[in-house]
Amino acid sequence: MAIEIYTKVTCGFCMRAKMLLDQKKVAYQEIKIDGNAALREKMIERANGAYTVPQIFIHGHHVGGCDELYALHARNELDALLAKA
C-alpha cells in the first residue's frame, strides 16, 4: 500500500492523522503496534529512530508524525504527495 500509518489504539494523534487522511479520501494501511514488540521495532527502524506514534509513510518515504502531516497540509503540499499514492 502506498500510505502506511503505524498507530496505537488509544493515541489521539493517531486518530487526528487518520481523520485528515479520511477527509482526503485516500486509502491507507493502518499498522497497529499495540503489544507487538516486533512491529514497534520495525517502525522505529523505518522511522530512523522515531519511536512515537503515529509514524506515517507515503510511497515508502517517512513523512513523520501527526504534526508533520498537518504541516504538509498547511503548506498545500499534502495533496500533491497523496495524488501519487
What is the pLDDT averaged over residues 59-74?
96
What is the pLDDT averaged over residues 56-72?
96
For residue 85, pLDDT over 60 is answered with no
DSSP secondary structure, the chain, as one string: --EEEEE-TT-HHHHHHHHHHHHTT---EEEE-TT-HHHHHHHHHHTTT--SS-EEEETTEEEESHHHHHHHHHTT-HHHHHHT-
* Domains of the chain, CATH where assigned: 3-83 (3.40.30.10)
What is the pLDDT averaged over residues 6-26?
97
